[in-house]
Chain A
Amino acid sequence: QVQLVESGGGVVQPGGSLRLSCTVSGFTFSSYGMHWVRQAPGKGLEWLTFIKHDASEKYYTDSVKGRFTVSRDDSKSTLYLQMNTLRGDDTAVYYCAKDGGISGACYFDYWGQGILVTVSS
């Protein structure tokens, strides 16, 4: 069955960095684009970034552009999110999600369980 498992979360000081990983199984990782979505405590969902199946294109929402970088290692079936210059409003549960392959659609058919990132001094 399809599984996505995030890791690398924790507590980090403002201005610090953290790298999240999302290791997948149960599907051909190299054939699908992948997303990161976050949810601040008690708040709604926020789409962050998308990387195409071949890493040829990457997209970011404005609030993380220039600070966060998405990447992937197909040999390890792993998606990454490098987060730099972290701020208090980056505190959230971070989810990785598999793109459903429907062009242009906000179609995330499988999600990880989420990992908490807390930015605090």
Chain B
Amino acid sequence: QSALTQPASVSGSPGQSITISCIGTSSDVGGHNLVTWYQQYPGKAPKLMIYDVTKRPSGVPNRFSGSKSGNTASLTISGLQAQDEADYYCCSYEGINSLYVFGTGTKVIVL
């Protein structure tokens, strides 16, 4: 099972909005509303940011939002802040070769 496809990096200035895409197939991203997004700082464990495509766990700022269209899920960060500079990974239920599959990861750079 191949990893979901994400851009290697996305950049933006403070206050701007950026969107990270996560491209899968009809077997994973497109097959159900079970896409999750994680934020990871260097040397740290990932942190859950979005689940079930659009839902935010308690404590996650509403600047973070998720969406999905067909086989592509997206994470949007509005009002970009310096502390948002990190790696972001999508994850989806797959259920054929593996229960879950992660995306390739995207480094967010705040200019």
Contacts and interface: CB of A to CB of B under 8 A. Distances in A.
A binds B: yes
Interface of A: 37, 44-47, 50, 59-62, 95, 100, 102, 104-109, 111-114
A107 B52 CA distance: 9
A111 B45 contact: yes
Nearest to A48: B98
Given A95-B45, A105-B52, A113-B45, A44 B34 contact: no
Interface of B: 1, 3, 32, 34-36, 38, 40, 45-48, 51-52, 57, 89, 91-93, 97-105
Given A45-B105, A112-B45, A114-B45, A105 B1 contact: no
Contact of B52 (A44, A59, A102, A109): A102
Given A61-B1, A106-B92, A44 B102 contact: yes
Contacts of A59: 98-99
A3 B81 CA distance: 28
Contacts, number: 71
B99 A62 contact: no
B1 A104 contact: no
A54 to B, nearest CB: 17
A105 B93 contact: yes
Interface centre among A44, A47, A59, A104 (most CB of B within 10 A): A44
Contact of A106 (B93, B104, B105): B93
Contact of A102 (B3, B38, B51, B105): B51
Contact of A107 (B51, B89, B101, B103): B51
B3 A44 contact: yes
A100 B15 CA distance: 32
B15 to A, nearest CB: 29
